[in-house]
Protein backbone atom coordinates (compact mmCIF):
# COMPACT_ATOMS: atom_id res chain seq x y z
CA UNK A 1 0.00 0.00 0.00
CA UNK A 2 2.28 2.75 -1.23
CA UNK A 3 -0.22 5.51 -1.79
CA UNK A 4 -2.47 6.82 0.92
CA UNK A 5 -5.51 7.32 -1.24
CA UNK A 6 -8.02 6.47 1.43
CA UNK A 7 -9.40 9.20 3.63
CA UNK A 8 -8.57 9.08 7.31
CA UNK A 9 -11.67 10.84 8.42
CA UNK A 10 -12.74 8.38 11.04
CA UNK A 11 -13.14 9.45 14.60
CA UNK A 12 -10.09 8.60 16.66
CA UNK A 13 -8.90 9.57 20.10
CA UNK A 14 -5.57 9.45 21.89
CA UNK A 15 -5.44 7.56 25.16
CA UNK A 16 -2.94 10.02 26.60
CA UNK A 17 -5.19 12.98 25.88
CA UNK A 18 -7.27 11.80 28.80
CA UNK A 19 -6.36 12.62 32.37
CA UNK A 20 -5.29 9.72 34.55
CA UNK A 21 -8.71 9.51 36.23
CA UNK A 22 -10.38 9.19 32.84
CA UNK A 23 -7.77 6.68 31.70
CA UNK A 24 -8.76 4.56 34.68
CA UNK A 25 -12.46 4.95 33.88
CA UNK A 26 -11.79 4.06 30.27
CA UNK A 27 -9.75 0.98 31.21
CA UNK A 28 -12.46 -0.13 33.58
CA UNK A 29 -15.16 0.15 30.88
CA UNK A 30 -13.01 -1.76 28.40
CA UNK A 31 -12.26 -4.48 30.95
CA UNK A 32 -15.93 -4.79 31.79
CA UNK A 33 -16.77 -4.97 28.08
CA UNK A 34 -14.16 -7.68 27.67
CA UNK A 35 -15.83 -9.98 30.17
CA UNK A 36 -19.48 -9.27 29.35
CA UNK A 37 -21.03 -12.09 27.36
CA UNK A 38 -24.27 -10.21 26.93
CA UNK A 39 -24.18 -8.23 23.71
CA UNK A 40 -26.47 -5.39 24.80
CA UNK A 41 -24.32 -4.74 27.86
CA UNK A 42 -21.15 -4.99 25.82
CA UNK A 43 -22.41 -2.39 23.35
CA UNK A 44 -23.49 -0.03 26.12
CA UNK A 45 -20.02 -0.28 27.66
CA UNK A 46 -18.49 0.52 24.26
CA UNK A 47 -20.53 3.72 24.11
CA UNK A 48 -19.54 4.58 27.68
CA UNK A 49 -15.83 4.01 27.04
CA UNK A 50 -15.98 6.04 23.84
CA UNK A 51 -17.63 8.95 25.66
CA UNK A 52 -14.88 9.00 28.25
CA UNK A 53 -12.31 9.15 25.44
CA UNK A 54 -14.23 12.01 23.85
CA UNK A 55 -15.60 10.01 20.94
CA UNK A 56 -19.26 10.06 20.00
CA UNK A 57 -20.30 6.69 18.67
CA UNK A 58 -23.70 5.23 18.08
CA UNK A 59 -25.06 2.19 19.85
CA UNK A 60 -23.81 -0.90 17.93
CA UNK A 61 -20.52 0.82 17.07
CA UNK A 62 -17.37 -0.31 18.84
CA UNK A 63 -14.00 1.10 19.78
CA UNK A 64 -10.64 -0.43 20.61
CA UNK A 65 -7.39 0.86 21.91
CA UNK A 66 -4.67 -0.10 19.43
CA UNK A 67 -3.12 -3.42 20.51
CA UNK A 68 0.02 -2.87 18.48
CA UNK A 69 3.39 -3.74 20.05
CA UNK A 70 4.56 -0.14 19.50
CA UNK A 71 2.38 0.94 22.48
CA UNK A 72 0.25 3.09 20.23
CA UNK A 73 -2.29 5.19 22.18
CA UNK A 74 -4.87 5.47 19.39
CA UNK A 75 -8.49 4.63 20.18
CA UNK A 76 -10.41 3.83 17.01
CA UNK A 77 -13.23 1.95 15.31
CA UNK A 78 -12.05 -1.65 14.84
CA UNK A 79 -14.57 -2.14 12.03
CA UNK A 80 -13.26 0.82 10.06
CA UNK A 81 -12.01 0.03 6.55
CA UNK A 82 -8.30 0.50 7.42
CA UNK A 83 -8.28 -1.09 10.84
CA UNK A 84 -6.61 -4.48 11.08
CA UNK A 85 -7.63 -7.39 13.27
CA UNK A 86 -4.49 -9.06 14.67
CA UNK A 87 -6.49 -11.80 16.29
CA UNK A 88 -9.92 -12.48 17.62
CA UNK A 89 -10.52 -14.58 20.64
CA UNK A 90 -13.59 -16.31 21.94
CA UNK A 91 -14.27 -13.32 24.17
CA UNK A 92 -15.28 -9.90 23.01
CA UNK A 93 -12.38 -7.64 22.29
CA UNK A 94 -9.62 -9.47 20.47
CA UNK A 95 -6.60 -7.42 19.35
CA UNK A 96 -6.75 -4.78 16.65
CA UNK A 97 -4.30 -2.38 15.07
CA UNK A 98 -5.28 1.17 14.26
CA UNK A 99 -5.20 2.20 10.56
CA UNK A 100 -1.79 3.88 10.81
CA UNK A 101 -0.12 0.92 12.53
CA UNK A 102 -1.79 -1.52 10.14
CA UNK A 103 -0.29 0.49 7.30
CA UNK A 104 3.16 1.00 8.85
CA UNK A 105 3.86 -2.30 10.54
CA UNK A 106 1.06 -4.79 10.21
CA UNK A 107 1.11 -7.56 12.77
CA UNK A 108 -0.25 -11.06 12.59
CA UNK A 109 -1.01 -13.31 15.51
ZN1 LIG B 1 -1.79 2.01 16.41
ZN1 LIG C 1 2.04 0.31 15.94
- Any domain includes 36: yes
Residue 63 lies in domain: 13-104
- Cα of 60 vs centre of ligand 1, distance in Å, is 22
- Cα of 58 vs centre of ligand 1, distance in Å, is 22
- Any domain includes 100: yes
54-87 residue pLDDT tens: 999 999 999 999 999 999 999 999 999 999 999 9
- Any domain includes 34: yes
Locate the DSSP E strands across 1-87: 13-14, 64-65, 74-76, 84-87
Domain count of the fold of the chain? 1
d(CA 107, CA 99): 12
Q: List the beta bridge partners of residue 13.
A: 75
6-59 residue pLDDT tens: 444 568 999 999 999 999 999 999 999 998 778 999 999 999 999 999 999 999
pTM for this entry:
0.87
- Any domain includes 7: no
- Any domain includes 80: yes
- Any domain includes 5: no
- Cα of 69 vs centre of ligand 1, distance in Å, is 9
d(CA 47, CA 63): 8
pLDDT of residue 36: 77
Amino acid sequence: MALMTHAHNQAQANYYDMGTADQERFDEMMELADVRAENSVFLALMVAAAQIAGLRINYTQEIRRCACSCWCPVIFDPHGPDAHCIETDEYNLGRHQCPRCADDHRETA
